[in-house]
Amino acid sequence: MTADWLSPIPVLGLGFALGLKHALDADHLAAVSTIVSERKSLWSSSLVGVFWGIGHTLSLLVAGVAVIFLHVEMGERLALGLELAVAAMLVGLGLSTLHKLGRGAQLHMHAHEHGGRLHVHPHVHDDEPLREPHAHHNLRFGARPLLVGVVHGLAGSAAVMLLVLSAIPSPALGMAYIGVFGVGTVGGMLVMSVLMGLPAHLTAARFAFAHLAVRSLAGCFSLGLGLFMVYDIGFVRGLLR
């Protein structure tokens, strides 16, 4: 099989483009948003995307080796089961975020004086401070997004990547394709995690109520999408019937 589109440059270019697109999947953004919303700085938000991309690429490398060298094929029920694991993870991440907010956030009235006039307005404190990673704690900080990336890499539209991979005749080119695909997912999620971190970064210090709303939206998005996926995979597509 020597079609022109299977020459190295087009194949690797396709892998990079699909990797960038893959990072934009709704379930990926939902999961990462719950973690990013807890970070104050854009630097720590970017690390979330990087660790997610690394975990995603690691699991794809394992799957790619199984496809290229062991000729393993993923059955439909296994693929659905992996997608269901992603759905359960989204539900867990959403509930965890909402639980932290419900346990830690406190609303009270705050009074201050401007120009001799007393003003009273609501103010929010989060008893659980947002933790920033020190350089020597980066591995510990990255454990959760790394694990989330691993789970995502084994499920969902990554199966499409493996279908393309199975048509590549050269094992070396196939592994290179995975690597470039992984670079694309890391880059795509790095950009998206910074963009998602902007609202949390801008509201964390001075707009506590808005920051609480940002984190609540992230938790609700993850929870809602996860529950929808459980229903779709389990009952519409029949895995749990």
For residue 203, what are the contacts with CB-CB under 8 A and spacing of at least 6?
A: 210, 211, 214
pLDDT tens for residues 114-145?
A: 555 655 444 444 544 444 444 444 555 678 99
pLDDT, tens digit, 9 for 90 and up, residues 41-73: 888 899 999 999 999 999 988 888 888 888 777
pLDDT single digits (tens) 90-100: 999 999 999 98
Amino acid 70: pLDDT = 83
Indicate the DSSP class of residue 235.
Answer: I
Percentage, residues of the chain above pLDDT 90: 42
Q: Which residue has the tokens 């006039």?
A: 117
Q: How many CA atoms lie within 13 A of 202 on its CB side?
A: 9
CB contact at 8 A, 189 and 49: yes
Q: What distance in Å separates the CA atoms of residue 74 and residue 53, rounded to the nearest whole number?
A: 22
**Matching residue, tokens 């009952």:** 235
Q: How big is the chain by its Cα radius of gyration, in Å?
A: 21
What is the C-alpha separation between 39 and 81, in angstroms, rounded? 31
What is the pTM for the complete model shown? Answer: 0.82
